[in-house]
Amino acid sequence: MNYKLIQNIGLIIFLVGFGAFLISFGSEKYQLTKQTIDQVISDPTKAGLVKSFGESQLLRSYPNAFMFNSELEILFNKINDFQLDRFGLSNDRIHQIVEANQDGNFTMDQAQHAFRTKDAITGFQWESFQTYGSWLDGRSFGSTDELREALQSVQHNIAQYGVLNQKGFNTYEIKELKFQLTKASSVGWVSANKTLALVIVYGLSILGALMYILPNKKILGPPGIKNDGTFHSKTKNIGWIGILLGSFLILFYVVLYFYPEYMTSWILMVDPVSQWLKGADAGRFFLYGFIYTLAILVMGVRMTIKYRHSKYQLWRTTSVMFFQLAFAFLIPEILMRLNQPYFDFKNIWPLDYDFFFDNELNALINHGGLGLFMLGWGVGLTVLGVPIMVYFFGKRWYCSWVCGCGGLAETLGDPFRQLSDKSLKAWRFERISIHSVLVFAVLMTVAVLYTYWTGESELLGVSSYKLRAIYGSWIGAGFAGVVGTGFYPLMGNRVWCRFGCPLAAYLGLVQRFQSRFRITTNGGQCISCGNCSTYCEMGIDVRAYAQRGENIVRSSCVGCGVCSSVCPRGVLNLENRADNNRFETAGLIGNDSFPEIKK
């Protein structure tokens, strides 16, 4: 059988499917209608404003999402400016309030005289002033300028949190509405042929990928790891293919997290799957979960065949494929079909950083017994599950067997594991960065829970809402997504797990000092081939430990076992031992040979 021919045909089929995916990005046209507005915007008053101010945009056809969203941005800004003029605290009103409080002692009773007109608009303004200006009541001001400055602060808060939230459109609402309106206004081949587009793009991509993977000579030959040509590959050693792939992944994540309105054609084609699973159209994160799961399953097949000589790798790969498909993708979507909260039973705080956010807590509490069980499950995993499981099995039980981030790293990211930086400088940076993210996650959660229990928006002068926005944008989206996956072909497959994951830091702290897990070494058998260090995705210089005859107990080790799998001499063994001699050494080499591994 001509395996090379099958591979080439598979590559062509994959490129056709992937090419159709890329072409579909800009294939749709967009047309805003009154029916679309009513469908997307549930508030009839706000929908009426959009239809009234958007007369020039209605029924026009836009050739691409960029022009359409530019018009939507202008439309929402016009509405907001109009509503701020009507309902906001005007400079004239501020002047009246200052005039009524000339004695320097501010009181709400005196300020009320500036809101004497009895109509709906003035009534809203007075209620807003009471809400956002109550902190001024009873305060003394040294001058009218000082009072005016304080009132301008109230004016700003009324505009941002009062008028825009209730009468206009705030930043987050605009972002979501732009996405929903763009998706609902799509007119083109993809929106008219969703199922066919799904089959062409994903069917061909999966078929082509499997045809390319399976007949590989290295895979079909004798079992074992073949390292020939790894660092000569333009894909696996930061060559031009790797750079292009990394650039695409980075761009994909940037659009997914920050500009989802431009990828609506991709989301449209997975609507049939979403309807089948949860009875509703797809959103951006359904698309992401769908692609994420397919990537783990397809590349998991490759991983299974490549490491078929190792039962540990077979079970581990099967495990991450199962947990991603069942627990991360299917079960949460089916729960939504049953009108239950979306819940990933394998996700653990602080990796699941928004678990304690008020909207998440309220959703679980308001869903009765099942919701309370989910809440208890999440807390129990964090408080009891992590230390108990790490004590018996090390952090590998989660990072290499259950976690979705780890699952993608171990399957899609396997070709790039050798790119991890093994330098001492990288190790030092790793310890600072990952524990800094953990501290940030803990402090944010404390502030969020304080807000939830007390109703106060600030803790020690810091807004919990700003903290969660910063964490969600820079850590949750930027670090974990854009960098964590986009940098696979540039920095290895465990960038996020190694430098940023707060749960990995928590697991690692327990593993470092209280765990039966360790990788034992037989230094007398080591031939210093360097395979173990080369293929350690966490940047550990495994060979240094092996030559010294020391157990590998690094907190960063995720127990993937690849170092053992690629060792030609059986030097490394993954063990769970009840004794406490985790830092033992066989004494084969002088104690001062590798001082850095003592740190």
Predicted confidence at residue 26, as pLDDT, reads: 86
Residue 223 confidence class, pLDDT cut points 50, 70, 90: low
Residues 441, 558 within the same domain: no
Checking if the pLDDT of 546 tops 80, the result is yes
In a domain, 309, yes or no: yes
Predicted confidence at residue 581, as pLDDT, reads: 60
Residues 493, 527 within the same domain: no
Residue 216's identity, in one-letter code, is: N
Domain boundary among 461, 482, 513: 513
Residues 447, 509 within the same domain: yes
Residue 172: CB atoms within 10 Å: 10
Where residue 582 sits, what CATH number does that domain have? 3.30.70.20
Tokens 């107990």, residue? 553
> What is the Cα–Cα distance from 330 to 426, expressed in whole angstroms?
38
3-state secondary structure of 106: coil
Residues 580, 552 within the same domain: yes
Instruction: Provide the terminal-to-terminal Cα distance of the chain, rounded to the nearest Å.
Output: 54
In a domain, 106, yes or no: no
Predicted confidence at residue 584, as pLDDT, reads: 58
Mean pLDDT on 322-336: 96
Predicted confidence at residue 459, as pLDDT, reads: 81
In a domain, 212, yes or no: no
Residue 504 confidence class, pLDDT cut points 50, 70, 90: very high
Checking if the pLDDT of 133 tops 50, the result is yes
CA 86 vs CA 73, 96, 128: distances in Å: 20, 17, 13
Predicted confidence at residue 221, as pLDDT, reads: 62
Q: Tens of pLDDT along 508-532?
A: 999 988 899 989 988 778 888 889 9
> What is the Cα–Cα distance from 166 to 155, expressed in whole angstroms?
15
* Range of weakest confidence among 43-47, 175-179, 329-333, 589-593: 589-593
Residues 303, 426 within the same domain: yes
In a domain, 350, yes or no: yes
Q: What is the DSSP letter of 380?
A: H
Question: Taking all residues of the chain, what is their mean pLDDT, rounded to a whole number?
Answer: 89
Residue 498 confidence class, pLDDT cut points 50, 70, 90: very high
Residue 501 confidence class, pLDDT cut points 50, 70, 90: very high
Tokens 């803990």, residue? 442
Q: Note down the domain range covering 533.
A: 516-598
> What is the Cα–Cα distance from 398 to 351, expressed in whole angstroms?
12
Residue 591 confidence class, pLDDT cut points 50, 70, 90: very low
Residues 459, 541 within the same domain: no
Mean pLDDT on 163-174: 90
Mean pLDDT on 165-172: 90
Checking if the pLDDT of 383 tops 70, the result is yes
CA 407 vs CA 154, 301, 325, 328: distances in Å: 49, 13, 11, 11
> What is the Cα–Cα distance from 588 to 109, expressed in whole angstroms?
84
Number of domains in the chain: 2
Domain boundary among 455, 482, 513: 513
Predicted confidence at residue 577, as pLDDT, reads: 78
> What is the Cα–Cα distance from 375 to 300, expressed in whole angstroms?
31
Residues 501, 537 within the same domain: no
Residue 590 confidence class, pLDDT cut points 50, 70, 90: very low
Q: Tens of pLDDT along 331-375?
A: 999 999 999 999 999 999 999 999 999 889 999 999 989 999 999
In a domain, 502, yes or no: yes
* Range of weakest confidence among 1-5, 89-93, 106-110: 1-5
List, in order, residues 6 or more apart from 77 with CB less than 8 Å away.
none
Residues 549, 438 within the same domain: no
Closest CA to 403 of 474, 493, 533, 342: 493
The larger pLDDT score, comparing residue 592 to residue 494, is at 494
Checking if the pLDDT of 160 tops 60, the result is yes
Closest CA to 585 of 553, 563, 556, 560: 553
3-state secondary structure of 556: coil
Burial 195-221 (b: 16+ CB within 10 A, else e): eebbebbbebbbbbbbbbbbbbeebee
In a domain, 100, yes or no: no
Q: Which two tokens stand for residue 469?
A: 């926005």
* Range of weakest confidence among 184-198, 199-213, 225-239, 565-579: 225-239
Q: Tens of pLDDT along 414-470?
A: 999 999 999 999 999 999 999 999 999 999 999 999 988 987 777 887 888 889 989
The larger pLDDT score, comparing residue 485 to residue 140, is at 485
Residues 563, 432 within the same domain: no
Residues 408, 312 within the same domain: yes
Checking if the pLDDT of 592 tops 70, the result is no
In a domain, 209, yes or no: no
Q: Which two tokens stand for residue 80?
A: 């907001």
* Range of weakest confidence among 112-116, 285-289, 422-426: 112-116
Residues 443, 530 within the same domain: no
CA 550 vs CA 36, 222, 483, 532: distances in Å: 66, 32, 33, 14
Residues 502, 524 within the same domain: no
Domain boundary among 496, 513, 530: 513
In a domain, 36, yes or no: no
**419-425-429 Cα angle (round to 5):** 90
